[in-house]
Structure 1
Amino acid sequence: MGGNGVGRRERRLDPEAGPVQRFAAELRALRESVGRPTYRTMADKVPFSVTALSQAAAGRQLPTLAVTLAYVDVCGGDPGEWERRWRAASAEAAALTGADDGTRPPYRGLTRYEPDDAALFFGRDRLVERLDGLTRAHRFTAVFGPSGSGKSSLLRAGLIPRLRAPGAGAGTDAAAAPAAVRVLTPGAAPMTTHADRLDPVPDTEADTWLIVDQFEELYTLCADPAERNAFVDRLLTATAADSRLRVVVAVRADFLGRCAEHPGLTAALQDATLLAGPMSREELREAVVRPAAASSLVVERALTTRLLDEVEDAPGGLPLMSHALLETWRHRTGRTLTVTGYEAAGGLRGAVVRTAEEVYGELTAPQAGLARRILLRLVAPGDGTPDTRRPAGHAELDLGDPDGTRAVLDRLVAARLLTLDDGTVELAHEALITAWPRLRGWIDAERDRLRVHRALSEAARTWLALGRENAALYAGSRLAAAREAFVHDPRGGEPAPGELTPSERDFLAASIHRRRRAVWLRRGLSAVLALLVLVASGTAVVALRARATAQAERDDAVFGRITAEADRVRETNAALSARLDVAAFGMRTTPELRTALTTDAGRVLSTRLPGHDDIGSAVAFAPDGRTLASG
């Protein structure tokens, strides 16, 4: 049927000619199955024109997903089934275009633009111009901007090519060609890692430029405040009048407060700060259209308009747009990037998810587990700030399966989800953290464990750097937290395999061993002290018993001597015998002694009272019974 609804024979289709004609033939068959309604009748029921519906089944190009679903809805088809068919046809058509035939794509996807990509870097000319002027006027400059605002690309593909261009800024001494341009990111140990790169090139009047990207790593990765301050102080030497250094740093905007903690840095940034804000609509248009034009490609006007509408008010949308364009390029029709290809790629936010899920879904179960552990290692959970990416060395990704790790890394790098740079691996962009729900879910589920792991990794590096010094091992609450996170069998005490690197496992195992040894020593000392207490107590008891026995034996001997003496003098000196009986009675009571005292009480007893020269005729006791008066 024609566009005017009058019957007209449609051109013959060959389903064997490719996925586009095969899909069109299937749409025609669906329309035939419901009585072949005219396209005008169909157009009256959906928000698409007669031409759009007729072209959907013409077989010249794949229709958009929206047109396809409208066509299917009118003909009573299953939308879910037809969406799957459409995506399969789109993927097959993209493969046939030779998108991966070695042709360099005009878009970088999630990865940043590098100096070699300057010919494809558009939309930031005015910002590059302002940055160039600011860096010529100040020796220390900072670029602040939210994640996804293009700070890294601005420095690498915008500023650096301008610095290296012959005659750039000619006419002033400050604008002379640089002696060197060094690009670095702080990492966990900036002074240790970059000490030899912070000095200017000697024996030249030309400036050495230090481009410090991802400056926020000083606060997310460097745990040593002293090293952090030393690094900042070293960079600030560029502000000296005789310095041959120029420093440009790129900082995520939410770390401005952390930068203000350093007085010198605060002073340096007062008049030398550039804010990388969102691109204007015209700048976005340049970023969409001009890279394609540079590669002799065309972007459909409808696609350009749709992208601008979706990205213009989307915070951090630039990396998502770049990735969506890269995937649309893979689904291009000839030399044209179309809305159909854009929808097949998943759209602005769906393209990242689609790419990530496709890669993840193609991994084996063991590889999927490795991918999860690798990706989580490349994230630094925020502490009051959004989560950030975290570069990791290859050694840190040694999780017990080198071949599997290599295969996973190759797949993720090929999909531009990860990047390899100077022996380190990192997420292509922080946008992946928020855009990929699966990764977001892993992070949220493991957030506390990730913080423990990041601290453990840093502690293990310090321990190795100190020659495995025992004083650097974990103890107390830090060891308890690490054991809870990574030791699944408390009785065995060994870290679970596959979750930690060999150095991390050695560190945690050594910490656990040291803790056990300390516990054993305390228990042994307690046992020895308890034994000594028992021995001392036993000795005291024995001594007391021996003393009591000796005392009793002595008393027996004294008692026996007193009673024996009393019996000896009983007939010759009754008074003395009675006094001895009383003394003996004070020591012990026996029947014999009671009898002797009874006998003594019935006898007349006398005693000599000194102090008289003559015979005493009378005596009297005082009332206290202790004093005797005689006369």
Structure 2
Amino acid sequence: MGRREKPVDPSAGPVQRLAHDLRLLREKAGKPPYREMAERAGYSTTALSQAAAGDQLPTLAVVRAYADALDADPDEWEARWREADAESRAPTADERAPYRGLARFEPADSDLFFGREALVRELLDLAHTHRFAAVFGPSGSGKSSLLRAGLIPLLREDRGTSRPAVVRVLTPGERPAQTHGPALVPQNGELDTWVIVDQFEELFTLCHDREERDRFLDLLLSAREPESRLRVVVAVRGDFYGHCAVQRELAEAVSRANLLVGPMSGDELREVITGPATVAGLNVERVLTARIIEEVGDQPGALPMLSHALLETWRRRRGRTLTLTGYEETGGVRGAIAATAEEVYGGLSTQQARTARRILLRLIAPNGSADEQGRALPAGAPDTRRPASRAELAGPDAQDVVERLAAARLVTLDGGTVELAHEALITSWPRLAGWIEESRERLHVQWLLGEAARAWDGLDRDPGALYRGTRLARAEELFAGKGAGAVRKATEEDLAPLERAFLSASLDARRAERDAGARTVRRMRALTVGLSVLLVCALAAGLLAWQRDRASAQESAKAAARRLATISDSLRSSDPRTAALLGVAAWKLAPLTESRSALLAALAQPERDAFTDPQTGRDVRRYLTDHGRSLVSVVNSAVSVWSVADHRRTAAYHLPSGMEVTAAGADSRFLDLTGPDGDVLWDLPAGKPAAELGDATLMDTSDDGSTYVTGPAGEGGTVRVQRTDSSRPALSADV
């Protein structure tokens, strides 16, 4: 008969409760011997009996084998084991974990801060030498812990004249000058005020207002003034070193006083592993220390993963010893964060898992988020964390999920602010990295939406600051229902209340603008219809008036045509040419019977020409010569010769004064002039007398003007034929 088991108290703790439940399971199965159970389970009798002894938590494999040997459900007992394991690893209210996990070291944790003593002294000397100093290092190199748990405790321990009046710690955030302006004012007195600016890169990732950024930098850089009582130490992520050239004074200050945080040596890593355990009265297996140093190596950003792996190993410790087995159960340096995150995520319900995804993505600032304003992040810059208020994370189960994430140290809580414990969570948890990559564009749009919403709220919700155009269309596509102004229920929780209000206001404003535009279009259509009706009426009235005017014009034309026809008839015998022209004009004006008759009469009338001397007056003398083809018109001493057929003047002459024309030759060349000395035959082309006529009268001239005929002025006398070139008559006869 086997040795009797000692009693176990189930209320003593989770390990004892699990052992008590295993004993009850064995009793219900008939209490078979451990030797028989060992044959079925494949484990030794000692391992099975120790599982129910209650001295320490058995391994999961042993518990599953124990249940299987008793025909129980191994999965059910795995769940019980995990519950007991989680409860046993959770520190009690008065128990302090020696490792910080993903959380940074705070000044109160200085007794657990190991491995950076030399670097802390170097930083202290640098800060005493220069009033503005910068600490650079990759993410995860321990910059924040170096400042908070290394530098600040040394400053507070100083009792000399170099001791600080006060030490203030801040992170820039979105409005650094507005939020931290008072903290950058030195305290009264002779001692210096020290300002520690952690996560200085937030000045470029979260603050997008260039003026706000410049004001904050001016406040910080005022510490460099000789009379200043302010000292500033900033911690900057290494990949933001180039951003420090955004301002000349900042670049100069950083280049003169900076400290680079590199990877730890093997001895420093050994201190990080064993130092906190020694403070807590714990032991670390040497093989575990060697394994961790080997895995970490010279990786500069592995400290958060190391710290988290050590924290999880401490939770799986065996008694007072941190074992390699417990470390391997955590997944090691590279897998501990993911294992913890997956364990927490796997314990959430479906709704809580969706809430956790939304919360964690809300705490991410995706790379490229500073592209719209300010200096853009460098190409390929990693994603960063961002703090969020609890109000931004509101929703069903949100607070419960936040508390569970905080309990697992995946996020940190600071008053009303929630933040990722460390950026290592982004790169070390594949599920979160996948969420970020899957939702990168959505995160970027949401980031910009939040920035715009805060700017809108800061402007007293000015409608001019609302989204419009393509930005609103893209935000509506991602976060709002199609064709509706209300935010879609499925994505409503993705937005903070202020962002939802901003998007709803933007959609309402667009709807109002569209309604106003539609009303304007309707008014324009009504106005267009009215104007069209007025135009049609005006055109109709104009057409009617035009028709009336046309009828009146036609009647006037007919009356004028009749008058022209009447005049044409009256001139037909005296001036047939004019009569014919008037008949044509009458027909063109109006094709009436009267105008037609005048036109036909003009066609039947033989064409006759009439010439009227343009010279008018009573003193004009006219002589028709050249067989009626020429007209000689004399006015005073001016002589004009007109072509009767062509109705044009062919010649113009001037007579001597005191002479009077009494007759004209047949060829329009000679005139009979009477003067004081008697009659003279005047040669018009030559402009001189051709012969003296005496008392005779010019009767005719030859066609060529070489001969002329004179006769007596009264009854009876001599008729002579004379040549113009001889004074003797060629022929004479008495009549």
Query: So what's the TM-score if we normalise by structure 2?
Result: 0.70
Match of 1:561, as an amino acid? Answer: A
Question: Residue 515 in 1 paired to residue 544 in 2?
Answer: no
Contact 1:200 1:207 in 2 (8 A): yes
Question: CA-atom RMSD, angstroms?
Answer: 3.9
Choose from 450, 466, 473 the match for 2:466. 473
Q: Which residue of 1 aligns with 2:264?
A: 279
Q: Which residue of 2 aligns with 1:444?
A: 437
**Post-superposition CA distance 1:445-470 (Å, at most 9, x none):** 11112111111111111111111122
Moved more, 467-476 or 217-226: 467-476
Q: Which residue of 1 aligns with 2:414?
A: 421
Q: Determine which structure has greater relative contact order: mean sequence separation of CA pairs < 8 Å that are 6+ residues apart, divided by chain length.
A: 1
Match of 1:475, as an amino acid? Answer: R
Match of 2:171, as an amino acid? Answer: T
Change (3 A) 1:388 1:583: same
Q: Which residue of 2 aligns with 1:150?
A: 142
Q: Which residue of 2 aligns with 1:598?
A: 600
Instruction: Tell me the distance in 1 between the aligned counterparts of 2:35 and 2:438.
Output: 48
Contact 2:38 2:48 in 1 (8 A): no
Q: Which residue of 2 aligns with 1:192?
A: 178
Instruction: Tell me the distance in 2 between the aligned counterparts of 1:485 and 1:355.
Output: 32
Match of 1:426, as an amino acid? Answer: E
SS of 2:255's equivalent? coil
Instruction: Tell me the distance in 1 between the aligned counterparts of 2:296 and 2:212.
Output: 40
Moved more, 448-457 or 606-615: 606-615
**Post-superposition CA distance 1:352-395 (Å, at most 9, x none):** 22222222233333332222222111100113211000011223
Q: CA deviation at 1:33?
A: 5.0
Question: Residue 213 in 1 paired to residue 210 in 2?
Answer: no
Change (3 A) 1:330 1:471: same
Q: CA deviation at 1:552?
A: 2.3
Q: Which residue of 1 aligns with 2:551?
A: 553
**Residue correspondence of structure 1 range 577-588 to structure 2 within 5 A:** 578-588=580-590
Q: Which residue of 2 aligns with 1:254?
A: 239
Q: Which residue of 2 aligns with 1:501?
A: 496
Question: Residue 122 in 1 paired to residue 120 in 2?
Answer: no
Q: Which residue of 2 aligns with 1:131?
A: 123
Which segments of 5 or more consecutive residues in structure 2 lack a partner in the other structure?
9-15, 24-31, 369-378, 615-621, 631-644, 650-667, 669-735
Instruction: Tell me the distance in 2 between the aligned counterparts of 1:454 and 1:279.
Output: 36
Choose from 446, 452, 457 the match for 2:450. 457
Q: Which residue of 1 aligns with 2:612?
A: 610
**Residue correspondence of structure 1 range 136-535 to structure 2 within 5 A:** 136-167=128-159, 170=160, 173=161, 175=162, 177-202=163-188, 204-383=189-368, 384=379, 385-398=381-394, 401=395, 404-492=397-485, 494=487, 496-521=491-516, 535=531
Q: CA deviation at 1:343?
A: 2.7
Question: Residue 32 in 1 paired to residue 39 in 2?
Answer: yes
SS of 1:105's equivalent? coil
Q: Which residue of 2 aligns with 1:48?
A: none
Contact 2:558 2:590 in 1 (8 A): no
Match of 2:236, as an amino acid? Answer: V
Which segments of 5 or more consecutive residues in structure 1 lack a partner in the other structure?
1-8, 40-52, 621-625
Instruction: Tell me the distance in 2 between the aligned counterparts of 1:365 and 1:376.
Output: 17
SS of 2:168's equivalent? strand
Change (3 A) 1:27 1:388: farther
Change (3 A) 1:319 1:588: farther
**Post-superposition CA distance 1:601-630 (Å, at most 9, x none):** 11357786431757797579xxxxx96459
Q: CA deviation at 1:27?
A: 11
Q: CA deviation at 1:316?
A: 1.9
Instruction: Tell me the distance in 2 between the aligned counterparts of 1:312 and 1:186.
Output: 33
Change (3 A) 1:340 1:313: same
**Residue correspondence of structure 1 range 58-137 to structure 2 within 5 A:** 89=81, 92-93=84-85, 95-96=87-88, 99-100=91-92, 102-137=94-129
Q: Which residue of 1 aligns with 2:683?
A: none
Match of 1:602, as an amino acid? Answer: A
Q: CA deviation at 1:90?
A: 6.5
Moved more, 284-293 or 147-156: 284-293
Contact 1:381 1:447 in 2 (8 A): yes
Contact 2:561 2:587 in 1 (8 A): no
The structure carrying a bigger helix percent of its residues is: 1
Contact 2:107 2:150 in 1 (8 A): yes
Instruction: Tell me the distance in 2 between the aligned counterparts of 1:11 and 1:275.
Output: 64
Change (3 A) 1:196 1:101: closer
Match of 2:433, as an amino acid? Answer: R
Match of 1:235, as an amino acid? Answer: L
Change (3 A) 1:503 1:431: same
Match of 2:424, as an amino acid? Answer: A
Instruction: Tell me the distance in 2 between the aligned counterparts of 1:97 and 1:185.
Output: 33
**Post-superposition CA distance 1:488-546 (Å, at most 9, x none):** 31344646522222221222232333334444555655666677677389378568746
Match of 1:500, as an amino acid? Answer: L
**Post-superposition CA distance 1:107-151 (Å, at most 9, x none):** 111111111111111111111111111111111111111111111
Q: CA deviation at 1:158?
A: 0.8
Contact 2:181 2:219 in 1 (8 A): no
SS of 2:246's equivalent? coil
Match of 1:317, as an amino acid? Answer: A
Instruction: Tell me the distance in 2 between the aligned counterparts of 1:388 and 1:196.
Output: 27
Percent identity among equivalent residues? 45
SS of 1:260's equivalent? helix
Q: CA deviation at 1:284?
A: 1.2
**Post-superposition CA distance 1:64-113 (Å, at most 9, x none):** 89xx79xx9xxxx9xxx999988974763453466445411111111111
Instruction: Tell me the distance in 2 between the aligned counterparts of 1:460 and 1:333.
Output: 52
Moved more, 559-568 or 324-333: 559-568
Instruction: Tell me the distance in 2 between the aligned counterparts of 1:483 and 1:27.
Output: 67
Instruction: Tell me the distance in 2 between the aligned counterparts of 1:587 and 1:449.
Output: 84
Q: CA deviation at 1:425?
A: 1.2
Higher-Rg member (1/2): 2
Instruction: Tell me the distance in 1 between the aligned counterparts of 2:311 and 2:358.
Output: 27
Contact 1:110 1:417 in 2 (8 A): yes
The structure carrying a bigger strand percent of its residues is: 2
**Post-superposition CA distance 1:301-360 (Å, at most 9, x none):** 222222222122444221111112212222222222222222333332332222222222
Q: Which residue of 2 aligns with 1:562?
A: 560
SS of 1:269's equivalent? helix
Number of aligned positions between the proteins:
583
Q: CA deviation at 1:269?
A: 1.6
Contact 2:467 2:503 in 1 (8 A): yes
Change (3 A) 1:529 1:164: same
Change (3 A) 1:98 1:256: closer
Contact 1:135 1:248 in 2 (8 A): yes
Instruction: Tell me the distance in 2 between the aligned counterparts of 1:520 and 1:591.
Output: 70
Q: CA deviation at 1:548?
A: 4.6
Change (3 A) 1:58 1:407: closer
